[in-house]
Structure 1
């Protein structure tokens, strides 16, 4: 047993996962450490404005990525040993996404001028748009395909260091909240720009003009995958935007404080999914009689682990919220005590998602995702005015429970779980 553990630890897969995990850990810890400073200097209302602007930019990132993190990774992986093939894939991707980038920037600026809410914070939203420029330069999909996890982690760490330094130097007064997202964007632009250059240099890529038909083919081919990701983005970023539009910037800032704490554990759960999903698929096809049992053991441990952590947060909610310099510690600590249910439910649903996808229920999964997003939006819109932030978290919890029930219904005949 000890020999197996030692062998697993020494394996390249474990080392790469550890490096990737460290980069993601750094990516998560940075906002947690910066939020108290930003809230302390700028106040919760201005922090709410920053959060809304950043959420909108993150939503636009889906358009910039255009499914690269799914389709692009697969293509690069297949052509990993073909230098010309890799160059073609990267240049076609960059050329096609550049058209999307320019289009997005033009449309976004027009909307900023047209919508009073956005126009009032023209500088903030304009600076926030630079985030999508940084994402355009993000070639992590390419690096994943060639299995260069080190560069992904280094790029993440460098961008966050620039972000932290920028915030500490530029955000010193209440009105400086407009620079927060600028610092975030500059971090991604500089870091991703450097590694895009390094990719071209390492693989001796040369710029070649891409034909219009190739760009058209790229946009048509990846359109379905791109549209499926829109629902995921809406699910992730719409709550804070809705809170801001319905409840105001101050409420959005309060929501973002609680959400950031929860996001830390959500990200871990997504990493857990990515790490264990291949094993689940392997068991389903190679060891079908043991697949459900192995899945249940792994995911039960994870659910208990998350539940234990959430209990710790629940009992220390007031102390944790106080760390973020909130003006309403009691209210937000009570919200956090309810919000801790979300990671527990997500740990359950993400485990069931492995079986849904592993048993090839892709259509049902897409249907569940789209319906759950729409349901979540409707619930938030109706419950937020009545219950304030409590209504938002109740909406998310209800939606997650429904997803779990749907997943169980899908796999009821295939997986013998109990």
Structure 2
């Protein structure tokens, strides 16, 4: 182990440490859904479980809107400042104050949706209580700690918050009438992580009041990522929302039981990509290409293994976790959803690592917009007819389309860059 450590450069050691920290956090993200989701399904019943999951799908749009793409653009800027040993304060507070303004705007828009759409008005308190999780996630300066490559600290805070949330659930949720506690406890967990990590981040910066001068280019780039992130939610969270409109809360509960497990499988790639992003951003074009040539076959193999596990062991996984017969009757849909874990690994490599590191924000935006629009159109056509099966078909097809588009953009950039060089 020491010999291996000596062979690594300081930059590579930092990447390895951050990857290790993120692996711990992601391990928790695997374990907790296996505990929490089946527990909530049993205690709340499919209908109330589906309701709180529908609220979470809606909050995913709120997070994407209030973040405004800073999770990508600001991380890159901070990582460059770290290499140049510059001051983080200006960029940090440009992001912080913009996010605070957006939090208020998004909350006002959420109120309009909740109180004007009858589907949401019936249980309006669930959606508004869920917004505490959005506040916590926007306060959380994960982009900053990722940029300065100090993920260990952020991991400790996140682990603490997730454990608090889990403990509260198991202590106080015992029957369907307790469903209102779920968004409250979820908000407490995220707010705890957000506030602690925010105060910890202040030791690296000097306080500044709002100042948005000379920020046009930065905000323009962030806007492109913002559109990408909203479009990405049209490929993800929108599925639960559309299904909720046409199928009801119980059907959303079945889909969520599968979807949360698939999301956990998809997230197995994130620690690596998050740890690599600051390092990858600083590399030359040729170095990026060499790294991509090594990464593509590795990620492909990992994806095939992930799909095989879900497809071959799907019956056992669902039967072990859930007790509702309706969920088990649809296990074949879960097994085919394993394809998502395969497609996502490669598409993330292109649009969440390579494209942002190359500052191809406009291309990334186009990829996600096309996939998001495709998903919404397909969902609106087939979900009213096929219900849950239609949603699963839509999700799988969208992930495949996104992978194809991402690969095409990567190939075009690769060829264009080589032509310019020659």
Partner of residue 224, structure 1: 224
Partner of residue 79, structure 1: 81
Report if the CA contact (8 A) 2:130-2:183 is conserved.
yes
Moved more, 26-35 or 9-18: 9-18
Distance 2:268 2:385 in 1: 32
Match of 1:11, SS state, is helix
Distance 1:143 1:175 in 2: 39
Q: Does 1:142 align with 2:141?
A: no
Output one character per residue of 1:151-196: Cα deviation in whole Å (capped at 9) or x when no partner: 2101211110111122123322211111112111111112221221
Report if the CA contact (8 A) 1:96-1:218 is conserved.
no
Q: Does 1:91 align with 2:98?
A: no
Partner of residue 307, structure 1: 307
Instruction: Report 1:98-117 matches (<5 A).
Output: 98-117=100-119
Distance 1:390 1:312 in 2: 20
Match of 2:88, SS state, is helix
Cα distance change on mapping 1:280 and 1:312 into 2, 3 Å = farther
Distance 1:116 1:103 in 2: 22
- How far residue 39 of structure 1 moved from its aligned partner, in angstroms, is 1.1
Moved more, 24-33 or 399-408: 399-408
* CA RMSD of superposed structures (Å): 3.4
Distance 2:219 2:16 in 1: 35
Partner of residue 252, structure 1: 252
Q: How many residues are aligned here?
A: 410
Instruction: Report 1:312-331 matches (<5 A).
Output: 312-314=312-314, 317-331=315-329
Cα distance change on mapping 1:85 and 1:170 into 2, 3 Å = same
Distance 2:105 2:409 in 1: 40
Distance 2:39 2:29 in 1: 17
Output one character per residue of 1:95-150: Cα deviation in whole Å (capped at 9) or x when no partner: 22211112222232233222222221122111111112112211111111222111
- How far residue 205 of structure 1 moved from its aligned partner, in angstroms, is 3.3
Report if the CA contact (8 A) 1:355-1:411 is conserved.
no
Cα distance change on mapping 1:337 and 1:205 into 2, 3 Å = same
Match of 2:210, SS state, is coil
Distance 1:173 1:39 in 2: 10
Match of 1:210, SS state, is coil
Moved more, 300-309 or 365-374: 300-309
Partner of residue 393, structure 1: 392
- How far residue 279 of structure 1 moved from its aligned partner, in angstroms, is 6.8
Distance 1:344 1:380 in 2: 21
Cα distance change on mapping 1:287 and 1:228 into 2, 3 Å = closer
TM-score (norm 1): 0.85
Moved more, 95-104 or 402-411: 402-411
Report if the CA contact (8 A) 1:130-1:185 is conserved.
yes
Moved more, 351-360 or 393-402: 351-360
Partner of residue 375, structure 1: 374
Report if the CA contact (8 A) 1:41-1:173 is conserved.
yes
Output one character per residue of 1:271-293: Cα deviation in whole Å (capped at 9) or x when no partner: 444566767996961496x6775
Instruction: Report 1:356-367 matches (<5 A).
Output: 357=355, 364-367=363-366
- How far residue 363 of structure 1 moved from its aligned partner, in angstroms, is 5.1
Cα distance change on mapping 1:304 and 1:235 into 2, 3 Å = closer
Distance 1:216 1:410 in 2: 26
Cα distance change on mapping 1:241 and 1:6 into 2, 3 Å = farther
Cα distance change on mapping 1:336 and 1:274 into 2, 3 Å = same
Match of 1:205, SS state, is coil
Distance 1:337 1:350 in 2: 21
Partner of residue 19, structure 2: 17
Partner of residue 180, structure 1: 182
Report if the CA contact (8 A) 2:233-2:372 is conserved.
no
Moved more, 345-354 or 30-39: 345-354
Instruction: Report 1:394-413 matches (<5 A).
Output: 394-410=393-409
Moved more, 166-175 or 255-264: 166-175
Moved more, 331-340 or 221-230: 221-230
Moved more, 220-229 or 133-142: 220-229
Q: Does 1:233 align with 2:233?
A: yes
Partner of residue 191, structure 2: 189
